[in-house]
Amino acid sequence: MTASRSTSEHRTLARRSILAAPLLAGLAGTLGPAGVRPAAADTATPRRRQRPRPWLPLRLPEPSGPHPVGASRLCLVDSRRADPWHDTDARRALMVTVFYPADPAHRHGTGRRPPLAYMLPGEAAAFDDTANNLLGLGLPAGTIDWERVHTHVRQDVPAARGRRPVLVYSPGLGEPRTFATAQAADLASRGYVVVCVDHTYESPAVEFPDGTVATMLPPAPDPRTWVHKVMAVRVADVRFVLDELARPEALPHGPAGTLDLTRVGMYGKSAGGLAALLAMAADQRIRAGANFDGNLGLNPMDPAGDLPPAVTDGIDRPFLLLGSDTPHNDTGPSWRAFLANDRGWKRRLTLLGSRHHSYADAQTLVAQAAGPLDLPDGTVVEDIGTITPRRSVQVQRAYVAAYFDRWLRGRPTTLFDRPSPRWPEMSFANPDGS
């Protein structure tokens, strides 16, 4: 398969499939206890690129909850599972970022602990190309310093006292776990521990603690077979992560002892949204789930076909569907099938004026870069829609927090009973009015 053909196939799957995101991934790292090494990636470690112009600093929105936020990166190696993407005996290795409420003494930072880098150097180098090409954001390479996007998060600071409900995040295909940092940090500021997972060999690049970088592998020639495998691997990854979170010795010092694993939720964007549903079906530890604009079928070339039992038969726990206002969105058939089953609490809402990337940090970063980079208005609308990023962030934060607060903290809300005059942008109808 040529490089150009691989990119074309990625884009086709990105725009037509359940996964509605480009297809990337890879792993070439080592790590973990006992020097376990994942299989070497098929592509070379990206070179560190030159610094972009200093006049384009980008910032994520500040978290809105009462807690300052800390975060720790963590490498997890599954000694019982060979990496499914390589025909070797290498163990499955994952990188996760754990966001948590920090000790209030570190709210403003003291200089003793650094701010959390948005991406590590190898991840940033790969994403510079990914954002422009596979994700189709139209951001010219070399113009954004992805390492230094301001996150409002301090690295490895002490955690606030108390036991916290836990949320697991699975990203869209072609998106690193860091591309949803604003949402994760906000939930942490409201009292959650949020664990963002990179699914190695699907993510654009995964940098391990020794500096090695694992980059994407191309999809298999048969998209349907490939997606079935992707989802099986993601479910196994999530279950392994939950197992590891139950081992205090596996956690970094900061959040250790704060996780309440009797209150676990999961959410994901695009492919990650389907992964959340399938992981819930496979693991009763996950008590509530949410899907951000992801088709629920397993055949990328037929959005209405190959629906898993979790869709047709449903699950016995609450599940939320948050959709974009994207024209010709292909989520409709699978979402209707899921809503038609009579098991469990479920809701479908549409964020009016939004697009697929509104459910990622793109909604903020593209808007900030648009002026300095002279991005065409059409590119911006295609990326993040017509709703203002500030309002999009506010609405999403309100609904996502209220949803998990209801099911993991027992806090009542009426937001999911009827449209809210405070948040008229969140519609209970499909974009076509159905």
Reported confidence tier of residue 430, pLDDT bands at 50, 70, 90: low
Phi then psi for residue 115, to 5 deg, are -65, 155
Nearest C-alpha neighbor of 345 from the set 289, 263, 267:
289
How far apart are alpha carbons 210 and 76 in whole angstroms? 14
Asked if 118 contacts 147 with a C-beta cutoff of 8 angstroms, the reply is: yes
**Cα dist from 171 to 25, 175, 183, 200, 391, whole Å:** 12, 6, 12, 11, 22
Tokens linked to 256: 């250790």
Query: Which amino acid is residue 354, in one-letter code?
Result: S
Domain range summary for the chain, segments of one domain joined by +: 3-427
Give the contacts of 203 (CB within 8 A, at least 6 positions apart): 24, 25, 26, 171, 175, 176, 177, 214, 216
Contact by Cβ (8 Å): 27, 237: no
User: Would you state the pLDDT for residue 106?
Assistant: 59
Give the max Cα distance, the chain.
Answer: 57
Alpha carbons 223 and 300: distance in angstroms, whole number: 7
pLDDT at residue 254 tops 90: no
pLDDT in tens, 338-369: 999 999 999 999 999 999 999 999 999 999 99
The runs of H, that is alpha helices, within 350-433 are 362-373, 377-384, 389-409
- Indicate if the pLDDT at residue 13 is higher than 70: no
Whether the CB-CB separation of 121 and 207 falls below 8 Å is answered with yes
Please state, in angstroms and rounded to a whole number, the distance separating the CA atoms of residues 176 and 67.
Answer: 25
Task: Determine whether domain 3-427 maps to CATH 2.60.40.10.
Answer: no
- For 90-124, the pLDDT digits (tens) are 999 999 999 999 998 755 554 467 899 999 999 99
Weakest-pLDDT range from 15-24, 322-331, 366-375: 15-24
Q: Which two tokens stand for residue 321?
A: 């569907």
Instruction: Please state whether beta strands 426-427 and 346-351 pair in parallel, antiparallel, or not at all (unpaired).
Output: antiparallel
Using CA atoms, how far apart are residues 93 and 75, in angstroms rounded to an integer? Answer: 7
Q: Provide the pLDDT for residue 219.
A: 85
| Tokens encoding 7 | 């990119």
Task: Give percent of the chain above pLDDT 90.
Answer: 68
104 by DSSP, 3-state: which? helix
Q: Are 263 and 409 in contact (CB under 8 A)?
A: yes
| pLDDT at res. 107 | 55
Tokens describing residue 104: 């209030």
pLDDT exceeds 90 at position 193: yes
> If you average pLDDT over residues 154-183, what whole number do you get?
95
- Given pLDDT bands bounded at 50, 70 and 90, which one contains residue 273? very high
Tokens 């999009």, located at residue:
392
pLDDT value of position 6? 36
Could you give the angle at the alpha carbon of 242 between the alpha carbons of 241 and 245, nearest 5°? 85
pLDDT tens-digit map of 261-271: 999 999 999 99
For the chain, percent of residues with pLDDT exceeding 70? 85
Please tell me which residue, 13 or 321, carries the higher pLDDT value. Answer: 321
Give the CB-side neighbour count of residue 339, counting CA atoms within 13 A.
17
Q: Which residue has the higher pLDDT, 109 or 23?
A: 109
